[in-house]
Amino acid sequence: MRVVPLGSAPSPLQSLIARRWRPQWICQDCRRGSIRRRSIASTTTTTTADPSKPFYITAPIFYANAAPHVGHLYSMLLADVLKRWHQLRHPSGTAILCTGTDEHGVEIQQAAVKAGLEPQQLCDRGAEGFQELAANVDISNDVFARTTDPKHKRAVEYAWQMLERERYIYERTHEGWYSVADEAFYQQGQVQLIVDPPTGRKIMVSIETGNAVELTKERSYHFRLSMFKDLLLDFYNRTPTFIVPQERMNEVIKEVQAGLVDLPISHPLNRLSWGVRVPSDSSQTMFAWFSALLSHATAIGYPFTPGLHKAAGWSPDVQVTGKDAMRLYCIYWPAVLMGLNLPLPKQILVHAHWTLGNKRMRNVDRTAVNPFFALERFGVDTMRYFLIRQGGVIDDAAYSNLFIIRTYKTELQQLLGSLVSLLTRFQGWSVARAVQKFGGASSDCAPDDKSSRALCDRIRKAPARVEMCMQSLRPKKALQTIMLLVEAANAHFDRLPPTKLARSSPLYKRDTPIDNEPAALQHAASQIGDRLDRIIYLDAEALRVVGILLQPFMPDAARKLLDMLGVSKDRRSWEWCELGADEAYGVPMVDLGQGETGVLFPGLTSGY
Give residue-wise pLDDT tens across range 56-101. Answer: 999 999 999 989 999 999 999 999 999 999 999 999 999 999 999 9
Mean pLDDT along residues 179-197: 76
Say if residue 6's pLDDT is above 80. no
Shared domain for 370 and 447, answered yes or no, is no
31 with 85, same domain: the answer is yes
Residue 451's Cβ-count burial label (10 Å; 0-12, 13-18, 19+) is middle
> Residue range 32-45: average pLDDT?
42
pLDDT at 587: 95
Is residue 231 scored above 60 in pLDDT? yes
**Residues contacting residue 428 through CB under 8 Å, at least 6 positions apart:** 498, 499, 502, 503, 505, 508, 509, 532
3-state secondary structure of 48: coil
Q: For residues 256-267, give the mean pLDDT.
A: 94
Query: How many folded domains does the chain comprise?
Result: 2
Output DSSP code: residue 512. S
- CATH label of the domain that carries residue 348: 3.40.50.620
Q: pLDDT by residue (tens digit) across 346-380? A: 999 999 999 998 888 887 666 789 999 999 999 99
Model confidence band, residue 522 (pLDDT cutoffs 50, 70, 90): very low
Q: Is residue 590 included in any domain, yes or no?
A: no
Looking at residues 143-153, what average pLDDT do you find? 97
* Domain encompassing residue 528: 405-576
Q: Average model confidence (pLDDT) for the chain?
A: 86
Residue 31 has pLDDT above 50, yes or no: no
Integer CA distances (angstroms), 208 to 55, 119, 362, 581, in order = 34, 29, 15, 52
Q: Are residues 330 and 413 in the same domain?
A: no
In a domain, 603, yes or no: no
Residue, of 214 and 420, whose pLDDT is higher: 420
CATH number at residue 482: 1.10.730.10
Same domain, residue pair 536 and 431: yes
Please say which residue of 363, 378, 393 terminates a domain.
Answer: 378
Q: For residue range 150-161, what is the model confidence (pLDDT) as tens digits?
A: 999 999 999 999
* Assigned domain for 536 exists: yes
Percent of the chain, pLDDT > 90? 66
Closest CA to 389 of 370, 407, 401, 377: 407
- Residue with the bigger pLDDT between 433 and 28: it is 433
Which regions of 287-428 does DSSP assign to beta strands (E)? Answer: 318-322, 348-351, 354-356, 359-360, 397-398
Confidence band for 29, pLDDT divided at 50, 70 and 90: very low
The span from the CA of 543 to the CA of 564, in Å, is 10
440 in the same domain as 478: yes
| DSSP 8-class letter at 411 | I
- pLDDT grade, residue 142 (50/70/90)? very high
325 shares its domain with 419: no
75 within 8 A of 322, measured Cβ to Cβ: yes
> Do 460 and 315 sit in the same domain of this protein?
no
Q: Is there a single domain that holds both residue 409 and residue 372?
A: no
pLDDT, mean of residues 240-267: 96
pLDDT of residue 214: 82
Does the structure show a pLDDT above 50 at 297?
yes
pLDDT (mean) for 212-230: 90
Same domain, residue pair 429 and 291: no
Give the model's confidence band at 47: pLDDT under 50 very low, under 70 low, under 90 confident, else very high: very low
| pLDDT score recorded for residue 521 | 44
Domain membership flag for residue 541: yes
DSSP state of 572: -
Q: Is the pLDDT of residue 409 over 80?
A: yes
**Does a structural domain hold residue 89?**
yes
Same domain, 330 and 434: no
Q: 303 preceded by cis ω (within 30°)?
A: yes
Name the 3-class secondary structure at 555. helix
Residues 6+ apart with CB under 8 A from 199: none
156 domain-assigned: yes
Same-domain check for residues 492 and 418: yes
CB-based contacts of 523, cutoff 8 Å, min separation 6: none
331, 360, 378 - which closes a domain: 378
Reported as a pLDDT band with limits 50, 70 and 90, residue 499 is low
Distances (CA, A) of 342 to 50, 198, 298, 304, 515: 17, 47, 13, 10, 77
The 10s digit of each residue's pLDDT in 425-452 is 877 778 999 999 888 765 555 666 788 8
Asked if residue 596 belongs to a domain, the reply is no
**Residue type for position 150:** P
- As a whole number of angstroms, the distance between CA 472 and CA 243 comes to 11
Q: Does one domain contain both 409 and 374?
A: no
The answer as to whether 585 is a domain residue is: no
- pLDDT at 326 exceeding the cut of 70: yes
